[in-house]
Structures are given as structure tokens and as C-alpha cells.
Amino acid sequence: MQIEEAIIIGAGPCGLAAAIELERIGLHPLVIEKRNIVHSISQYPTYMHFFSTPELLEIGDIPFTTANDKPSRLEALNYYRTAAQRHQIRVQAYEAITSITSENGAFILHGEDRFGQKSLYKSRYVVIATGYFDHPNELGIPGEQLNKVSHFFRESHPYVGMKVAIIGGSNSAIDAALELERVGAEVTVVYRGQDYSASIKPWVKPGFQSKVAKGSIRMLFQSTVIAIANNDITVRGPEGETRLPNDFVLALTGFHPDRNFLTSSGVSMEEEGYPTFQEDTMETNVQGIYLAGVVASRHEANEIFIESGRYHGRKIAEHILSKKDIAAT
């Protein structure tokens, strides 16, 4: 069994930021990541640019420089791996923590690597910074498991000349629709809202609306996809049900935390399905288990992702330090 002072589960930007803050108070945390460093960012659309300016994405007092107004995915990948290296953060990649149990005031973490090799860790403090993005909100409709359906969009090239339905109306859906239209895909956006989402980036919305007005992109409001088949989808809208020819479906319907993992660790859930924690300390109802990053976002996943979540580690470090001070008096 490997004994650690603190373990952080997840090597995203907020997990790395938390590791830096714990280092600053004298702990030497181990970060365990089931894939690669900042895996979620590596899964973003290849040519994506962030909504945020670079200074709002910085961690560990390391400047984030870019030649553009908004940093790209590639720049972010380089920045966060560089930040981890400069702060000498210990990251154990490609190992999943499958469960957490309590034992005599500490936690036992069960791990498993990609080859099935199991391991045990013991730690006084655990920070869960696992994010949402491995757990998409499923539609629960017939045909969702077909290989033509994806909850992620990487790049437009594979969809050249294809009939693509995008489910959702958020920024990710709008960005994907525009990229797909540029390469000649026949795009239909199916959105349950009555009008365009207020969250759409203001510099993107006019161009998208223009494409819709010209008929380059088909926009279906107050509509939902109720079934997916090999060659078509069934859409229910204000005028009833319609079958549309279709080659691919991008279900960009958002994500949720791994509730089973959290509850099995003892973390309770609020009525709406979000984990319980204290805003000022990030500690859950289980003493010694903390949340960091988007897993603590509740309804505000987009706003809290990096810009606010990067400060969660500071709250955690201050709380742990206060516990130590109390114990010393």
C-alpha cells in the first residue's frame, strides 16, 4: 500500500491548480489521472479557441501567453503540461481510482491501471477533481447506441457531404454546426428551446443566425429527437413527428458528474443530483474529501470550469492548514 499525504483524483486544470496550492502549504500531493494530463481539453474540437482570455486560465502564477485574443486548444495543452512540469507536480497517468473507503481517520483508495493491475493508496486528504466530461447526458431514446451517434465533436472533416443532426443549442452545438457547414455537411440543429440560447457567444450568434436565414443550416426550435435509425431520425416538434434523412448524430447535450463514484465514497447528493459541499472550503459532507473544478459547478458548469475552479485549491489548502493549526494549539 502506498501512503500519501494527499491525493488528487483528476489532472485537469483545476486538479493541477489544487496540487500547486497543496504543495505551497507543505503537502506533497499525488495526482492520479485515469487518462492523460488535461484529458478533457485534449478531447475538445481540434481547432477550438477558448471563450476566456489567457489570464483567466492561468494557474500556479505562470503567465499564459498567446498571439491571439483567445487561446487555442493546442496552446492550452502546452500551457498546462508546462505548468505541471515547472511545479514538479507528481502525476500518475493512466490509472483509475475505482473506489474510496474510510479507515481510522484516513482514506483507502483502490486503483486500477489500463492493464488491469490493481493498487492501494492511503491518504489523509482526498480531492476529487474529476470533472463532468466523461459522463455525457444520454438521451434515453431508441438508437442512441448506434455507432453513428456521438456525444463529442472533434473536427468536421469526417462529415464532409454527410447529413448531420446536432442535438442541443449551446455554444458547443453552434460551433460544431458552423464548422460542419463550412466543409459542406448538411446540418440540422434540433433544439428544445423556443429561441436561441442566451449563452451563445455574442460574436458567433449573428453569423449563425445569418446561416439559418439563408438556409445553409436548418434550425428546429421546440423540437426533440425521439428515435435514431440507421438512415434517419425521428423529430417531434410543434407540428408533430417528422422523419429526416440522416447519416450522423452529434448529441451535444451536456455532461454530469460521476454520481455513483461520489455516493459510493460517502458524498451525499442534493435533490437535483449535485454533490454536497461547503462553498467556502470545498469540503464535502465527508470530512477530508474535497471537490475541485467543474464537479462542484452545480448549474454553472460553463462559468465555473477553469476561470473559477482554479481557485478551489486555494480554499482547500486554507481549510487543511486551519485544521493543522487547530490541532497544534
DSSP output for 179-218: HHHHTT-EEEEE-SSSS--TTS-TTTHHHHHHHHHHTSEE
Phi–psi pair at 177, nearest 5 degrees: -60, -45
In 104-194, beta strands by DSSP E: 106-113, 118-128, 149-150, 163-167, 186-190
- Helical H runs in the chain? 13-24, 39-42, 73-86, 171-182, 205-214, 259-264, 301-304, 312-328
Residues 6+ apart with CB under 8 A from 325: none
Residue type, 300: E
pLDDT in tens, the chain (329 residues): 999 999 999 999 999 999 999 999 999 999 999 999 999 898 888 888 887 889 999 999 999 999 888 899 999 999 999 999 999 999 999 999 999 999 888 999 999 999 999 999 999 999 999 977 777 888 999 999 999 999 989 899 999 999 999 999 988 899 999 999 999 999 999 999 999 998 888 888 999 999 999 999 999 999 999 999 999 999 999 999 999 999 999 999 887 778 889 999 999 998 777 899 999 999 999 999 999 998 887 655 544 478 888 999 999 999 999 986 544 43
pLDDT at 298: 66
Q: Residue 29 gets which letter from DSSP? A: P
Report the alpha-carbon angle 37-38-41, nearest 5: 145
| Predicted TM-score (pTM) of this structure | 0.81
Asked whether the CA dihedral 67, 73, 78, 79 is positive or negative, the reply is positive
Decide if 34 contacts 153 (C-beta within 8 A): no
pLDDT at 299: 57
Tell me how far CA of residue 269 lies from CA of 118, 257, 296, in angstroms.
28, 11, 11
How far is the C-alpha of 147 from the C-alpha of 125, rounded, in Å? 41
How far is the C-alpha of 1 from the C-alpha of 119, rounded, in Å? 7
pLDDT at 302: 47
pLDDT at 274: 81
Q: Do domains 2-135+255-328 and 149-251 have the same CATH topology?
A: yes
Bridge partners (DSSP) of residue 90 are 30
Q: Which of 44, 15, 55 is nearest to 31 (CA)?
A: 15
CATH number of 149-251: 3.50.50.60
pLDDT at 300: 54
Residues 6+ apart with CB under 8 A from 152: 43, 136, 250
CATH superfamily of this structure's domain 2-135+255-328: FAD/NAD(P)-binding domain (3.50.50.60)
Place of cell 448506434: 146
Within 10 Å of residue 274's Cβ, how many Cβ atoms?
18
The domain limits of the chain are 2-135+255-328, 149-251
